[in-house]
Chains A and B, each alone.
Chain A
Amino acid sequence: MSYEIGSLSLDHPVLNGSGTFDAIAARRAFGDALLEDFPFSAFVSKTITPEPRAGNPPPRLYETPSGMINSIGLPNKGLDGFLSNDLPQLAELPVPLIVSVMATDRAGFERLVDGVGGRDEVAALELNVSCPNVKSGLIVGEQPSETHALVTALRERTEKPLIVKLTPNTADPAAVAVAAEEAGADGVSLINTLRATGLAPGSAEPWLGAGSGGLSGPAVRAIALEQVRRVAAAVSIAVIGMGGIETAADAAEFMASGAGLVAVGTANFRDPGAGIRVRNGLKNLLDDTSTLHLNLRSN
């Protein structure tokens, strides 16, 4: 069984969701034990933007039944800060690095792809398209046409595998996935978070500093599974499935539904070793074809 995203070949099918594991911070907390048994077959960075961002005002977290809303607001050091501060540290990880990038215009995306794509330490790029295009006012990832145009433009600028991170906040994610594939993407990852909000207890005001945010965790798993199933049926590039995966059995459901790879997101918060549990459990399930008759699809 092989796990591939375009030309990038991985050792096992479990990645992290962008923004749900910070390998640099985790190393501060857990030391080099982290590197000795690194959970993921590739590390996906938190999304970076061309310029530095402080992120949203607190509170940034809201807990929901079997899930959580985050409105973090993409705090990051910007492209230059990332390249000078973070990249050398991420290069020490024992696995390939996938850098997630986002901008609000074409030029910004181009700068990111040029800057990140030119570095040997980087194995692949993930395009976070859950962002407005300031020109059209549309969220790129909600529109097949916008996605197609963006990926086409970026495809020319790098040979590295390009993954498009799909948004679930749209009527037909499969149409966006097909647009990404046609424009030359090597993979799609889904789902990102679902727009959501919650009020401060006993108040009429939203709890989150930014008013609303994105829902993740087990609450969204059934939605994610359906979107993965539809997307995987529509494209033949790599599909990285995520959304509420907590156990190897959950991950196996995504793989049985057509995802060649999976990512662990919110589950990392409840257990920093969630990725190890999922990876090892999945290995047992995949080895023991008698227990689980999964019609696994490899890319």
Chain B
Amino acid sequence: MTPPNDRTNGGAGLNDDIGEAKRLELYRLQVVIRESEQRAFDLFLQNLVKGTSHLSLGQEAVAAGFAGAMKKGDLSFCTYRGHAHTLARGVSVEKVLGELMQKDNGLMRGKGGSMHLTSEEHGVMGSYAIIGAHLPIACGAAWRAQYRGDKDVSVCFFGDGTTNIGAFHEALNFAAVWKLPVVFVCENNLYMEYTPIKDVIPIPQPAADRASAYGLERILIDGNDADVVYRTAQKAFARARAGEGPSLIECLTYRHSGHSRADPAKYRPEGELEEWKKRDPVKIYRERLKQFGVKEDAIAEIDASVRKEVDDATEACKAAPPPPLDIISTDVYADGGWAWRN
């Protein structure tokens, strides 16, 4: 496990600039993701999740830390591995699980599927399943903010493997030249699908070691510590809102599960998962809360309420009907329909 070269320390020095309310929020978000993803996996084993799914178990701190620092109006652009970021922006567990189960209560009523979670009202401007495609799209949303003088930031999440596709390069250069208020977040979980990222790059860090190619600062952080992530996000957002341009942040993390539902992740070297589980972000954060004097009770209460939310959501999804077939032909075009002819 590469020791992350932190820019910002975690909670070690008992630096309480974050404050208890925000810390409880960051904790809650991580637990919501953890429980929902774990549930998604269980439902998959019961054959109730259809299509594919890509879990963020082990990567909760990145989603929580960024979402925790985002304001209303800030926009998230996610990948197929987007459940975590979608939940972190406040979308209900039911709507997410409903989409995974391809039910009518799903976020897009089953039309999009797990890889395309979108909730415009929460600023989740889509989840994209073609590697790299959303980086330029996030630039465009940021361009609109710049053009209009809106102060919102576009935040674009992607994986380590995504740094090798052309669109990554085009977006980074474009954002830097136009000084766009966009923050690029690389979640380096060490793997692409089944191949380690280190096998396909000639440098140690896929994103951080490329920042200079775009005139950007090298930022490599511990992605398993939500406080570190949160502080880094705040700085990048402030920079963006101040008109100083984009940031590229590489978060070191690890996925506890396979790449997608079908992957048992046998390619991992022995002991690697166990090593990383010692640095489980939820565990780290629970310790952090205690360090800052939060009572076990308060923590247990959050755990219990999240568990209940996920249980209730599960039941609601199980009970929900499948989508009606008449929506197949809606929303191809803006008139609501699908007519390509008169």
A binds B: no
